Protein backbone atom coordinates (compact mmCIF):
# COMPACT_ATOMS: atom_id res chain seq x y z
CA UNK A 1 0.00 0.00 0.00
CA UNK A 2 1.33 3.44 -0.93
CA UNK A 3 2.88 5.37 1.95
CA UNK A 4 3.38 9.10 2.41
CA UNK A 5 6.69 10.93 2.60
CA UNK A 6 7.42 14.10 4.54
CA UNK A 7 7.09 17.50 2.86
CA UNK A 8 6.59 18.07 -0.83
CA UNK A 9 4.51 20.54 -2.81
CA UNK A 10 1.59 20.45 -5.22
CA UNK A 11 2.43 22.60 -8.26
CA UNK A 12 0.00 22.73 -11.16
CA UNK A 13 1.12 19.77 -13.27
CA UNK A 14 0.75 21.67 -16.57
CA UNK A 15 0.55 18.35 -18.44
CA UNK A 16 -2.68 18.97 -20.36
CA UNK A 17 -0.81 20.35 -23.38
CA UNK A 18 0.83 16.99 -24.16
CA UNK A 19 -0.57 14.17 -22.03
CA UNK A 20 -3.06 13.16 -24.75
CA UNK A 21 -0.60 13.53 -27.63
CA UNK A 22 0.97 10.33 -28.92
CA UNK A 23 4.75 10.08 -29.25
CA UNK A 24 5.81 11.24 -32.71
CA UNK A 25 8.95 10.00 -34.46
CA UNK A 26 11.08 13.00 -35.35
CA UNK A 27 12.91 12.69 -38.64
CA UNK A 28 16.64 12.32 -38.07
CA UNK A 29 18.49 15.61 -38.65
CA UNK A 30 21.19 16.11 -41.29
CA UNK A 31 23.78 16.21 -38.51
CA UNK A 32 23.92 14.93 -34.94
CA UNK A 33 26.32 16.13 -32.25
CA UNK A 34 26.85 13.40 -29.66
CA UNK A 35 28.63 14.53 -26.45
CA UNK A 36 31.02 12.07 -24.83
CA UNK A 37 29.49 12.63 -21.41
CA UNK A 38 25.87 11.56 -20.96
CA UNK A 39 26.33 9.85 -17.62
CA UNK A 40 27.62 10.42 -14.11
CA UNK A 41 31.31 9.54 -14.10
CA UNK A 42 34.29 10.02 -16.38
CA UNK A 43 33.52 11.07 -19.98
CA UNK A 44 33.96 8.52 -22.75
CA UNK A 45 36.96 8.54 -25.06
CA UNK A 46 36.07 8.88 -28.76
CA UNK A 47 37.12 5.79 -30.74
CA UNK A 48 36.26 7.15 -34.18
CA UNK A 49 38.06 9.73 -36.31
CA UNK A 50 37.07 12.29 -38.91
CA UNK A 51 36.13 10.55 -42.14
CA UNK A 52 35.10 7.23 -40.55
CA UNK A 53 31.86 5.63 -41.68
CA UNK A 54 29.53 4.68 -38.82
CA UNK A 55 26.26 2.79 -38.51
CA UNK A 56 23.32 3.01 -36.11
CA UNK A 57 24.23 1.36 -32.82
CA UNK A 58 27.97 1.31 -33.48
CA UNK A 59 30.09 2.17 -30.45
CA UNK A 60 31.79 5.56 -30.87
CA UNK A 61 32.75 6.30 -27.25
CA UNK A 62 34.70 3.99 -24.94
CA UNK A 63 33.89 4.22 -21.19
CA UNK A 64 36.41 6.21 -19.18
CA UNK A 65 36.08 4.01 -16.08
CA UNK A 66 33.79 1.59 -14.20
CA UNK A 67 31.23 4.30 -13.42
CA UNK A 68 30.77 5.18 -17.07
CA UNK A 69 28.79 3.91 -20.04
CA UNK A 70 29.65 3.51 -23.74
CA UNK A 71 28.13 5.81 -26.33
CA UNK A 72 26.81 4.76 -29.72
CA UNK A 73 26.05 6.37 -33.07
CA UNK A 74 22.38 7.33 -33.40
CA UNK A 75 22.44 7.70 -37.20
CA UNK A 76 24.49 6.17 -40.00
CA UNK A 77 26.87 8.35 -41.94
CA UNK A 78 30.32 9.94 -41.82
CA UNK A 79 32.15 11.38 -38.85
CA UNK A 80 32.48 15.06 -39.66
CA UNK A 81 34.31 16.24 -36.55
CA UNK A 82 35.59 15.11 -33.15
CA UNK A 83 35.88 18.30 -31.14
CA UNK A 84 34.48 20.23 -28.15
CA UNK A 85 30.95 21.50 -28.72
CA UNK A 86 28.43 23.41 -26.51
CA UNK A 87 27.18 21.20 -23.70
CA UNK A 88 23.81 21.23 -21.93
CA UNK A 89 25.49 21.20 -18.50
CA UNK A 90 27.44 24.34 -19.39
CA UNK A 91 30.68 25.00 -21.24
CA UNK A 92 31.81 22.57 -23.91
CA UNK A 93 32.25 18.80 -24.11
CA UNK A 94 34.24 16.62 -26.50
CA UNK A 95 31.68 15.46 -29.06
CA UNK A 96 31.42 13.30 -32.15
CA UNK A 97 29.68 15.05 -35.04
CA UNK A 98 28.09 12.68 -37.59
CA UNK A 99 26.81 13.73 -41.00
CA UNK A 100 23.68 11.68 -41.66
CA UNK A 101 23.64 9.65 -44.91
CA UNK A 102 19.90 8.92 -44.40
CA UNK A 103 20.49 5.23 -45.22
CA UNK A 104 19.57 4.14 -41.66
CA UNK A 105 22.17 1.37 -41.83
CA UNK A 106 22.18 -0.66 -38.62
CA UNK A 107 25.44 -1.95 -37.13
CA UNK A 108 25.89 -5.65 -38.08
CA UNK A 109 26.78 -6.45 -34.46
CA UNK A 110 23.22 -5.64 -33.35
CA UNK A 111 21.20 -8.76 -32.62
CA UNK A 112 18.66 -9.84 -29.99
CA UNK A 113 19.29 -12.39 -27.26
CA UNK A 114 18.24 -15.85 -28.44
CA UNK A 115 16.62 -16.86 -25.15
CA UNK A 116 15.92 -13.92 -22.80
CA UNK A 117 14.51 -16.27 -20.14
CA UNK A 118 17.87 -18.03 -19.80
CA UNK A 119 19.87 -14.89 -18.99
CA UNK A 120 21.89 -14.96 -15.79
CA UNK A 121 22.23 -11.75 -13.73
CA UNK A 122 25.83 -11.44 -14.86
CA UNK A 123 24.85 -11.74 -18.52
CA UNK A 124 22.13 -9.11 -18.14
CA UNK A 125 24.61 -6.74 -16.47
CA UNK A 126 26.99 -7.19 -19.41
CA UNK A 127 24.22 -6.54 -21.95
CA UNK A 128 23.12 -3.40 -20.10
CA UNK A 129 26.71 -2.20 -19.87
CA UNK A 130 27.41 -2.73 -23.59
CA UNK A 131 24.14 -0.99 -24.50
CA UNK A 132 25.21 2.20 -22.71
CA UNK A 133 22.08 2.31 -20.54
CA UNK A 134 21.95 5.01 -17.87
CA UNK A 135 19.23 6.48 -15.67
CA UNK A 136 17.05 8.22 -18.22
CA UNK A 137 15.08 10.20 -15.68
CA UNK A 138 17.88 12.76 -15.58
CA UNK A 139 20.29 11.31 -13.01
CA UNK A 140 22.15 9.36 -15.76
CA UNK A 141 23.82 6.94 -13.33
CA UNK A 142 25.16 3.91 -15.29
CA UNK A 143 22.55 1.18 -14.93
CA UNK A 144 24.97 -1.75 -15.02
CA UNK A 145 26.70 -0.34 -11.93
CA UNK A 146 23.38 0.01 -10.11
CA UNK A 147 22.37 -3.58 -10.93
CA UNK A 148 25.70 -5.20 -10.09
CA UNK A 149 26.06 -3.29 -6.81
CA UNK A 150 22.55 -4.30 -5.76
CA UNK A 151 22.73 -8.04 -6.50
CA UNK A 152 22.36 -10.02 -3.30
CA UNK A 153 21.43 -6.92 -1.27
CA UNK A 154 18.13 -5.85 -2.77
CA UNK A 155 14.71 -7.38 -2.08
CA UNK A 156 12.59 -4.50 -3.42
CA UNK A 157 12.83 -3.51 -7.10
CA UNK A 158 10.89 -0.39 -8.04
CA UNK A 159 10.18 1.18 -11.44
CA UNK A 160 9.90 4.96 -11.23
CA UNK A 161 6.94 6.02 -13.38
CA UNK A 162 5.84 8.86 -11.09
CA UNK A 163 6.87 11.59 -13.55
CA UNK A 164 6.09 14.22 -10.94
CA UNK A 165 7.74 17.20 -12.68
CA UNK A 166 5.26 19.63 -14.27
CA UNK A 167 4.93 19.61 -18.08
CA UNK A 168 6.75 16.30 -18.72
CA UNK A 169 4.59 13.50 -20.17
CA UNK A 170 7.02 11.20 -22.01
CA UNK A 171 6.79 8.42 -19.40
CA UNK A 172 3.00 8.71 -19.33
CA UNK A 173 2.77 8.25 -23.09
CA UNK A 174 5.29 5.39 -23.01
CA UNK A 175 3.11 3.50 -20.54
CA UNK A 176 0.03 4.03 -22.71
CA UNK A 177 1.70 3.20 -26.03
CA UNK A 178 4.44 0.70 -25.12
CA UNK A 179 3.21 -1.20 -22.05
CA UNK A 180 4.70 -4.50 -23.22
CA UNK A 181 8.19 -3.00 -23.24
CA UNK A 182 7.68 -1.71 -19.71
CA UNK A 183 6.38 -4.99 -18.31
CA UNK A 184 8.88 -7.25 -20.09
CA UNK A 185 11.72 -4.97 -19.01
CA UNK A 186 10.46 -5.13 -15.42
CA UNK A 187 10.21 -8.91 -15.67
CA UNK A 188 13.87 -9.11 -16.69
CA UNK A 189 14.77 -7.13 -13.58
CA UNK A 190 12.60 -9.37 -11.38
CA UNK A 191 14.48 -12.43 -12.60
CA UNK A 192 17.84 -10.70 -12.32
CA UNK A 193 17.36 -9.73 -8.66
CA UNK A 194 15.42 -12.88 -7.77
CA UNK A 195 12.46 -10.97 -6.33
CA UNK A 196 8.85 -12.15 -6.32
CA UNK A 197 7.48 -8.86 -7.65
CA UNK A 198 8.66 -5.64 -9.23
CA UNK A 199 6.67 -2.56 -8.21
CA UNK A 200 5.82 0.25 -10.63
CA UNK A 201 5.05 3.58 -8.93
CA UNK A 202 2.51 5.64 -10.92
CA UNK A 203 0.96 8.88 -9.67
CA UNK A 204 -2.83 9.08 -9.45
CA UNK A 205 -3.02 11.69 -12.22
CA UNK A 206 -1.99 8.92 -14.64
CA UNK A 207 -4.65 6.38 -13.70
CA UNK A 208 -5.29 5.48 -17.36
CA UNK A 209 -1.64 4.43 -17.68
CA UNK A 210 -1.92 2.29 -14.55
CA UNK A 211 -4.99 0.60 -16.06
CA UNK A 212 -3.12 -0.18 -19.30
CA UNK A 213 -0.16 -1.60 -17.39
CA UNK A 214 -2.42 -3.79 -15.23
CA UNK A 215 -4.10 -5.17 -18.34
CA UNK A 216 -0.71 -6.02 -19.85
CA UNK A 217 0.44 -7.62 -16.59
CA UNK A 218 -2.61 -9.90 -16.66
CA UNK A 219 -2.03 -10.83 -20.31
CA UNK A 220 1.65 -11.64 -19.76
CA UNK A 221 1.13 -13.10 -16.27
CA UNK A 222 4.10 -10.98 -15.23
CA UNK A 223 5.52 -10.67 -11.69
CA UNK A 224 4.77 -6.95 -11.61
CA UNK A 225 2.56 -4.85 -9.31
CA UNK A 226 1.37 -1.31 -10.09
CA UNK A 227 1.22 1.02 -7.09
CA UNK A 228 -0.90 4.15 -7.61
CA UNK A 229 0.63 6.96 -5.56
CA UNK A 230 -0.66 10.30 -4.30
CA UNK A 231 0.11 13.10 -6.74
CA UNK A 232 2.78 15.12 -5.00
CA UNK A 233 6.17 16.54 -5.94
CA UNK A 234 8.90 15.18 -5.59
CA UNK A 235 7.25 11.76 -5.61
CA UNK A 236 9.73 10.58 -8.24
CA UNK A 237 12.85 11.29 -6.18
CA UNK A 238 14.55 7.99 -5.33
CA UNK A 239 14.44 8.24 -1.55
CA UNK A 240 10.85 9.49 -1.51
CA UNK A 241 9.67 6.80 -3.95
CA UNK A 242 11.45 4.18 -1.88
CA UNK A 243 9.53 5.29 1.22
CA UNK A 244 6.23 5.68 -0.64
CA UNK A 245 6.26 2.12 -1.98
CA UNK A 246 8.29 0.05 0.48
CA UNK A 247 7.73 2.09 3.64
CA UNK A 248 11.51 2.13 4.20
CA UNK A 249 13.47 5.31 4.82
CA UNK A 250 16.94 5.70 3.33
CA UNK A 251 19.45 6.83 6.00
CA UNK A 252 21.27 10.14 5.63
CA UNK A 253 24.20 9.89 3.26
CA UNK A 254 23.11 6.46 2.04
CA UNK A 255 21.51 5.10 -1.14
CA UNK A 256 18.23 3.18 -1.66
CA UNK A 257 20.32 -0.03 -1.93
CA UNK A 258 21.24 0.46 1.74
CA UNK A 259 17.52 0.11 2.50
CA UNK A 260 17.24 -2.98 0.29
CA UNK A 261 15.69 -1.12 -2.65
CA UNK A 262 16.78 -0.61 -6.24
CA UNK A 263 14.97 1.97 -8.38
CA UNK A 264 14.93 2.25 -12.17
CA UNK A 265 13.36 4.92 -14.35
CA UNK A 266 10.55 3.77 -16.64
CA UNK A 267 12.42 4.56 -19.87
CA UNK A 268 15.56 2.94 -18.47
CA UNK A 269 13.46 -0.21 -18.07
CA UNK A 270 12.35 0.10 -21.69
CA UNK A 271 15.99 0.51 -22.73
CA UNK A 272 16.80 -2.78 -20.96
CA UNK A 273 13.96 -4.43 -22.88
CA UNK A 274 15.30 -3.10 -26.20
CA UNK A 275 18.87 -4.18 -25.43
CA UNK A 276 17.73 -7.75 -24.74
CA UNK A 277 14.88 -8.24 -27.21
CA UNK A 278 16.27 -6.22 -30.15
CA UNK A 279 19.97 -5.80 -29.32
CA UNK A 280 19.77 -2.03 -29.90
CA UNK A 281 21.73 0.18 -27.50
CA UNK A 282 20.54 3.63 -26.39
CA UNK A 283 20.34 5.66 -29.61
CA UNK A 284 17.09 7.60 -29.16
CA UNK A 285 15.14 9.49 -26.50
CA UNK A 286 11.53 10.49 -25.91
CA UNK A 287 11.40 14.23 -25.18
CA UNK A 288 8.42 16.40 -24.17
CA UNK A 289 8.57 19.79 -25.88
CA UNK A 290 6.24 22.17 -24.08
CA UNK A 291 5.82 25.46 -22.25
CA UNK A 292 4.10 28.77 -22.94
CA UNK A 293 6.72 29.66 -25.57
CA UNK A 294 6.10 26.58 -27.76
CA UNK A 295 3.52 27.02 -30.51
CA UNK A 296 2.44 23.35 -30.70
CA UNK A 297 3.67 21.25 -27.74
CA UNK A 298 4.43 17.59 -28.53
CA UNK A 299 6.05 14.38 -27.33
CA UNK A 300 8.86 13.53 -29.74
CA UNK A 301 11.21 10.57 -30.08
CA UNK A 302 14.47 11.64 -31.68
CA UNK A 303 18.02 10.34 -32.19
CA UNK A 304 20.56 11.12 -29.47
CA UNK A 305 22.51 14.19 -30.55
CA UNK A 306 19.56 15.94 -32.22
CA UNK A 307 19.88 19.76 -31.93
CA UNK A 308 17.21 21.27 -29.67
CA UNK A 309 16.39 23.70 -32.47
CA UNK A 310 15.11 20.71 -34.49
CA UNK A 311 12.72 19.84 -31.65
CA UNK A 312 11.28 23.34 -31.53
CA UNK A 313 11.01 23.48 -35.33
CA UNK A 314 8.96 20.26 -35.25
CA UNK A 315 6.60 21.99 -32.82
CA UNK A 316 5.96 25.00 -35.03
CA UNK A 317 8.81 27.05 -33.57
CA UNK A 318 8.93 29.44 -30.62
CA UNK A 319 6.87 32.51 -29.89
CA UNK A 320 8.63 35.83 -30.39
CA UNK A 321 8.32 36.75 -26.72
CA UNK A 322 10.10 33.56 -25.51
CA UNK A 323 12.65 34.52 -22.87
CA UNK A 324 13.85 31.25 -21.33
CA UNK A 325 14.69 27.67 -22.36
CA UNK A 326 15.02 24.85 -19.86
CA UNK A 327 16.32 21.34 -20.51
CA UNK A 328 14.36 19.11 -18.13
CA UNK A 329 11.47 20.08 -15.90
CA UNK A 330 10.84 23.55 -14.42
CA UNK A 331 11.71 22.36 -10.90
CA UNK A 332 15.04 20.62 -11.51
CA UNK A 333 15.94 21.38 -15.12
CA UNK A 334 18.82 23.54 -16.31
CA UNK A 335 18.36 26.83 -18.16
CA UNK A 336 20.15 26.83 -21.53
CA UNK A 337 22.19 29.76 -22.78
CA UNK A 338 23.12 28.24 -26.14
CA UNK A 339 20.78 26.94 -28.85
CA UNK A 340 23.51 24.65 -30.19
CA UNK A 341 23.14 22.05 -27.40
CA UNK A 342 21.74 18.63 -28.30
CA UNK A 343 19.55 15.88 -26.85
CA UNK A 344 21.30 13.45 -24.49
CA UNK A 345 20.33 10.21 -22.77
CA UNK A 346 18.91 12.08 -19.76
CA UNK A 347 16.94 14.71 -21.67
CA UNK A 348 13.30 14.28 -20.71
CA UNK A 349 11.96 17.65 -21.81
CA UNK A 350 12.75 20.92 -23.54
CA UNK A 351 10.64 23.76 -22.19
CA UNK A 352 10.28 27.29 -23.52
CA UNK A 353 8.65 30.09 -21.53
CA UNK A 354 7.09 33.27 -22.85
CA UNK A 355 4.60 34.17 -20.11
CA UNK A 356 4.95 35.37 -16.52
CA UNK A 357 5.86 31.99 -14.98
CA UNK A 358 9.09 33.33 -13.56
CA UNK A 359 9.33 36.42 -11.38
CA UNK A 360 12.66 37.67 -10.07
CA UNK A 361 13.42 39.68 -6.97
CA UNK A 362 16.58 41.74 -7.34
CA UNK A 363 17.42 41.74 -3.63
CA UNK A 364 15.35 38.98 -1.96
CA UNK A 365 15.12 39.04 1.83
CA UNK A 366 14.15 36.04 3.95
CA UNK A 367 11.06 36.76 6.06
CA UNK A 368 11.60 33.73 8.38
CA UNK A 369 8.23 32.20 7.53
CA UNK A 370 9.59 28.64 7.72
CA UNK A 371 7.63 27.39 4.71
CA UNK A 372 10.78 25.94 3.17
CA UNK A 373 11.31 23.76 6.25
CA UNK A 374 7.78 22.40 6.03
CA UNK A 375 8.09 21.29 2.39
CA UNK A 376 11.65 19.89 2.34
CA UNK A 377 11.26 16.15 1.67
CA UNK A 378 14.69 15.50 3.23
CA UNK A 379 13.70 17.19 6.52
CA UNK A 380 16.44 19.80 6.12
CA UNK A 381 16.31 23.46 7.15
CA UNK A 382 16.77 25.48 3.94
CA UNK A 383 16.37 28.83 5.73
CA UNK A 384 19.48 28.18 7.82
CA UNK A 385 21.35 26.40 5.02
CA UNK A 386 20.98 29.51 2.87
CA UNK A 387 22.00 31.82 5.73
CA UNK A 388 25.26 29.97 6.41
CA UNK A 389 26.14 29.68 2.73
CA UNK A 390 25.67 33.43 2.31
CA UNK A 391 28.09 33.90 5.22
CA UNK A 392 30.58 31.62 3.47
CA UNK A 393 30.40 29.00 6.25
CA UNK A 394 30.43 25.88 4.10
CA UNK A 395 31.62 23.66 6.98
CA UNK A 396 28.49 24.33 9.07
CA UNK A 397 26.32 23.96 5.95
CA UNK A 398 27.86 20.57 5.23
CA UNK A 399 28.49 19.03 8.65
CA UNK A 400 25.83 20.53 10.94
CA UNK A 401 22.99 21.27 8.53
CA UNK A 402 23.67 18.23 6.29
CA UNK A 403 23.59 20.29 3.10
CA UNK A 404 24.95 17.44 0.99
CA UNK A 405 21.70 15.53 1.66
CA UNK A 406 19.80 18.11 -0.42
CA UNK A 407 18.30 16.45 -3.52
CA UNK A 408 17.92 19.80 -5.31
CA UNK A 409 14.21 19.18 -5.91
CA UNK A 410 13.40 22.90 -5.76
CA UNK A 411 10.41 22.51 -3.42
CA UNK A 412 11.88 25.12 -1.04
CA UNK A 413 12.46 27.68 -3.79
CA UNK A 414 8.98 27.00 -5.20
CA UNK A 415 7.25 27.73 -1.91
CA UNK A 416 9.45 30.67 -0.80
CA UNK A 417 7.37 33.90 -0.79
CA UNK A 418 10.58 35.97 -0.75
CA UNK A 419 11.84 34.21 -3.94
CA UNK A 420 15.23 33.35 -2.48
CA UNK A 421 17.42 31.39 -4.95
CA UNK A 422 17.63 28.50 -2.50
CA UNK A 423 18.23 25.58 -4.87
CA UNK A 424 20.86 27.50 -6.82
CA UNK A 425 22.68 28.35 -3.60
CA UNK A 426 22.69 24.72 -2.49
CA UNK A 427 24.05 23.56 -5.84
CA UNK A 428 26.86 26.06 -5.47
CA UNK A 429 27.46 24.81 -1.91
CA UNK A 430 27.83 21.25 -3.17
CA UNK A 431 30.23 22.42 -5.85
CA UNK A 432 32.39 24.13 -3.23
CA UNK A 433 32.48 20.95 -1.13
CA UNK A 434 33.38 18.82 -4.15
CA UNK A 435 36.04 21.30 -5.26
CA UNK A 436 37.59 21.18 -1.78
CA UNK A 437 37.59 17.37 -1.84
CA UNK A 438 39.30 17.28 -5.24
CA UNK A 439 41.86 19.86 -4.14
CA UNK A 440 42.64 17.85 -0.99
CA UNK A 441 42.97 14.66 -3.04
CA UNK A 442 45.27 16.34 -5.55
CA UNK A 443 47.40 17.76 -2.74
CA UNK A 444 47.70 14.35 -1.06
CA UNK A 445 48.68 12.71 -4.33
CA UNK A 446 51.26 15.41 -5.03
CA UNK A 447 52.77 15.01 -1.53
CA UNK A 448 52.89 11.23 -1.96
CA UNK A 449 54.60 11.56 -5.35
CA UNK A 450 57.10 14.03 -3.91
CA UNK A 451 57.89 11.69 -0.99
CA UNK A 452 58.38 8.72 -3.32
CA UNK A 453 60.65 10.76 -5.56
CA UNK A 454 62.71 11.87 -2.53
CA UNK A 455 63.09 8.28 -1.32
CA UNK A 456 64.19 7.16 -4.79
Report angle CA 180, 184, 186 to the nearest 5 degrees. 120
Distance of CA 82 to the CA centre of its chain: 25
**How confident is the model over 30-54, as pLDDT tens digits?**
999 999 999 988 899 999 999 999 9
**How confident is the model over 302-350, as pLDDT tens digits?**
999 999 999 999 999 999 999 999 999 999 999 998 889 999 999 999 9
Question: β-strand 156-161 against 198-203: which pairing, if any?
Answer: parallel
Share of the chain above pLDDT 90, in %: 87
pLDDT of residue 449: 87
Q: List binding-site positions.
A: 366, 369, 372, 376, 406, 409, 412, 416
**How confident is the model over 236-249, as pLDDT tens digits?**
999 999 999 999 99
- CB-based contacts of 286, cutoff 8 Å, min separation 6: 23, 170, 173, 174, 267, 299, 300, 301, 348
212, 176 contact by CB (below 8 A): yes
pLDDT of residue 356: 79
Question: What is the enclosing helix (H) or strand (E) of 126?
Answer: helix 121-130
Query: Helix, strand or coil for residue 336?
Result: coil
Smallest CA-to-CA distance from 40 within 128, 142, 126 is with: 142
Q: List binding-site positions for [4Fe-4S] cluster.
A: 366, 369, 372, 376, 406, 409, 412, 416
Question: What is the reported pTM?
Answer: 0.93
Mean pLDDT of the region 450-456 = 82
Smallest CA-to-CA distance from 355 within 396, 322, 381 is with: 322
Amino acid sequence: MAQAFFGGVHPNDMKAATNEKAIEQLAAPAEVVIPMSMHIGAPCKPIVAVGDKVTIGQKIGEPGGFVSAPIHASVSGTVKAVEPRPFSMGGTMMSVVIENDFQNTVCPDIHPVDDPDSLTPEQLVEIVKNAGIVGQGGATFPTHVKISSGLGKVDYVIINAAECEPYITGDHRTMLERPEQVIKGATLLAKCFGVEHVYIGVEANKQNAADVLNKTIDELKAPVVVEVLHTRYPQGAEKQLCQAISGRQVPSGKLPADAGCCIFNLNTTCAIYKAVYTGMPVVSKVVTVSGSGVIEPKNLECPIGTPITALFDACGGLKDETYKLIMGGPMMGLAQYNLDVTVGKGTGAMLAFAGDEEQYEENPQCIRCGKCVGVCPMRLEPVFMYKYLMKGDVDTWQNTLHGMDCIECGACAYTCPARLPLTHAFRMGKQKVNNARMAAKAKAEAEKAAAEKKEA
